Structure 1
Amino acid sequence: MSIRDQYPDAFDGLDVDDDFFDDEEDLPSSFLRAALLDGLQKFDTGATVSPFLDVKLTGELFDGGIFNAEAADIIVRLQNEINAVSPGAAAADLKIGIGQFSPGSLIMHVQPGAPLMEDGQLRVPSPGPLEGALHRVVDIHDSLETDPESLVRQTEGETDVHDRVRQLVESLDKAGAALALDLYQSDGKRRQSVVTERGRENARRLFERKPVESPEIIAGGVDRLDGAGKVRLRVGKSRPEIEDVPESVVQSLRIGQYLRVLVTYQRSVDSFKERTDERWRFIELAQQDEILPIEEN
């Protein structure tokens, strides 16, 4: 919606050049939106302007401005990322939807919408769920492109966010595409981000898993014995399985027996400290006690 259409009374009697406002080719500048909002809030402190987002895909596959299968896959991945950064919000409130398309490189227009006061009439100055999630996504993409190390700090411990960003980048890689987000906020400000080949390369480096191994002592009750040289321990809720255990050691153990075992702990770790391919290889017994009752979790 045009800012002039949203607040028509503000322009009564004014002869304003149309070039300063929205048209099909030139979206409203953030300066004009912010200036208008500042004036409107002098009369209505709850005034906002309608937020909207432009999603732009560039690359050979999108030169015709056609919404193809690759574009659909990228939008699905973007939606998943939006959901991941706002786990407490209802999924229905985070749907981006696509309002319209523009020719050239594929440009998709989204209107997040702003929340209403309880009386259903006055707008709330704070962003709605989707707009708030888009703030975070734009920040993540900007960090991915310009300062990937800060992204590690910003998303520490957010495994689902890491997974969704990785999947989005994989879709961009597959399509050979760059993704630009241009968010016009309800407070009149504007945020932009882009993920180009540089950002995709940064992502590949961050998500690359490197093998790491170190000595470690694990302790727990014997949960399972395997004649193939494997012993599984109950350590809290986890069940690490120790490999390469000598047959003589396996035969000396009993279910429920408490052990402390020195192992070589092997795993693959990325920049976010996410671990996969965990393995525990037997070195020696550090402690071997009597059989203890196995607690049920």
Structure 2
Amino acid sequence: MRLPASWNHLRERARQGLDDLGVDDERPVDDWDDVLDRAWLEGARRFDASAQLQPRLDVRVIGDDVGHGSLSMQLVDELSGPLQSEVEAASPSGDKELLRLELAGISRGSAVMHLRPAALIDSGDEHLPLALSPVDAAIRNVFDVHDAMEREAPADSIILEGDLRKSFHKLAKVLQQHELAVEMTWRPLGGQRRRSRLSERGLSYASSLFEMTDHAEETTVSGYLYEQSLSGWFRLKSNPQNKRSESRLVHTEGDRLDLESLRLNQYLRARVLHTYQMDRFGQRSSERWTFLRFLDKEEQ
């Protein structure tokens, strides 16, 4: 037996009932969720000992323009896309179908998006008939990144690469654009819940880590002349017989080099000015190699 889809509606009615009775309880919404969930589970297990609460991810969206228990469709779309992408990128399995999240409802407490895994897999244990959600490990990895930003951990200690980097960066931009913060609570199947927060502090720190700074250094490149253009560039390739081998596009400026004097497949060594932008994660962009001079055979 699983938590029915109408449970979110019943939970919201319970909160409204407290307001109608004039009950001024300052406990967090999560506390009331726990009380109501435990009450449902205790009652359900009187009829079915295997009854379990379905795992869910509660995402509380906090901001001045957030409605009381409501979110615009545009904002739901802007938030749910990067969140889904983060979970997919952070999963060891990478099976997108098993990692898909569904929006089960939105309730009060600023505005809380209730997301649940679309798929559960059988554990093979008769005592855990609903078993495991493959989303669990992915969400914990996502929370690790959010928590690291919030406590301002050193950049080299944060595991943020590839698609996870892109998804997190997109989520952070959305939150900053709308001046929002998020508090997330993951309630796994039969496990201990975990919370994570991404506030203005964490977002500001993340922004500083993604900020690009200019770099320039003189270095040596070498390889066989693979392509050249009279418009001002040539390409060196480590192995011209292999199209996938490493290559380097070198730009020339003015009359610094007479490209007509070069021969295809000629081995060349050159000093170049390597310019690029780099963030504090060591990710580079806008790389460019500009020709300075060729090196003689004797030069290192």
How many percent of aligned residue pairs carry the same amino acid?
A: 25
Query: Does structure 1 conserve the Cα–Cα contact (< 8 Å) formed by 2:275 and 2:289?
Result: yes
Q: In structure 1, how many angstroms separate the alpha carbons of the residues matched to 2:214 and 2:78?
A: 31
Aligned twin of 2:128:
123
Query: Does structure 1 conserve the Cα–Cα contact (< 8 Å) formed by 2:123 and 2:131?
Result: no
Aligned twin of 2:65:
61
Q: Which moved more, 1:184-193 or 1:173-182?
A: 184-193
Q: In structure 1, how many angstroms separate the alpha carbons of the residues matched to 2:275 and 2:129?
A: 52
Partner SS, residue 27 of structure 1: helix
Query: Does structure 1 conserve the Cα–Cα contact (< 8 Å) formed by 2:148 and 2:158?
Result: no
Aligned twin of 2:260:
251
Q: Which moved more, 1:270-279 or 1:124-133?
A: 124-133
Aligned twin of 2:25:
none
Aligned twin of 1:168:
171
Q: Which moved more, 1:241-250 or 1:172-181?
A: 241-250
Is 1:201 the counterpart of 2:204? The answer is yes
Aligned twin of 1:6:
none
List per-residue Cα deviations over 1:149-172 (Å, max 9, x = no partner). 25x42316x222111111110111
How far the C-alpha of 1:77 sits from its partner, in A, is 0.9
How far the C-alpha of 1:287 sits from its partner, in A, is 4.6
Q: In structure 1, how many angstroms separate the alpha carbons of the residues matched to 2:284 and 2:296?
A: 27
List per-residue Cα deviations over 1:214-244 (Å, max 9, x = no partner). 1211111112222233211124634322122
Which of 178, 192, 195 does residue 192 from structure 1 map onto? 195
Q: In structure 2, how many angstroms separate the alpha carbons of the residues matched to 1:140 and 1:247?
A: 48
Which of 103, 111, 118 does residue 108 from structure 2 map onto? 103
Which of 282, 287, 297 does residue 278 from structure 1 map onto? 287
Query: Does structure 1 conserve the Cα–Cα contact (< 8 Å) formed by 2:133 and 2:189?
Result: no
Q: TM-score, normalised on structure 1?
A: 0.75
How far the C-alpha of 1:63 sits from its partner, in A, is 2.7
Which of 269, 272, 295 does residue 263 from structure 1 map onto? 272
Aligned twin of 2:94:
89
Query: Does structure 2 conserve the Cα–Cα contact (< 8 Å) formed by 1:207 and 1:270?
Result: yes
Q: In structure 2, how many angstroms separate the alpha carbons of the residues matched to 1:149 and 1:48?
A: 40
How far the C-alpha of 1:48 sits from its partner, in A, is 7.3
Q: TM-score, normalised on structure 2?
A: 0.75
**Paired AA for residue 117 in structure 1:** S
**Paired AA for residue 205 in structure 1:** S
Query: Does structure 2 conserve the Cα–Cα contact (< 8 Å) formed by 1:115 and 1:124?
Result: no
How far the C-alpha of 1:251 sits from its partner, in A, is 2.5
Q: In structure 2, how many angstroms separate the alpha carbons of the residues matched to 1:253 and 1:199?
A: 53
List per-residue Cα deviations over 1:80-134 (Å, max 9, x = no partner). 1111112633211111111121124110122336531348x54279852111111
**Paired AA for residue 263 in structure 1:** V
Q: Which moved more, 1:80-89 or 1:218-227?
A: 80-89
Aligned residue pair count: 256
Query: Does structure 1 conserve the Cα–Cα contact (< 8 Å) formed by 2:92 and 2:138?
Result: no
Q: In structure 1, how many angstroms separate the alpha carbons of the residues matched to 2:212 and 2:190?
A: 41
How far the C-alpha of 1:201 sits from its partner, in A, is 0.5
List per-residue Cα deviations over 1:153-201 (Å, max 9, x = no partner). 2316x22211111111011112111011111233431211111111111
Q: In structure 2, how many angstroms separate the alpha carbons of the residues matched to 1:125 and 1:155?
A: 31
Q: In structure 1, how many angstroms separate the alpha carbons of the residues matched to 2:232 and 2:94?
A: 48
Is 1:74 the counterpart of 2:82? The answer is no
Query: Does structure 2 conserve the Cα–Cα contact (< 8 Å) formed by 1:259 and 1:285?
Result: yes
Q: In structure 1, how many angstroms separate the alpha carbons of the residues matched to 2:281 and 2:132?
A: 29
Q: 1:190 to 1:248 in 2, by over 3 A?
A: closer
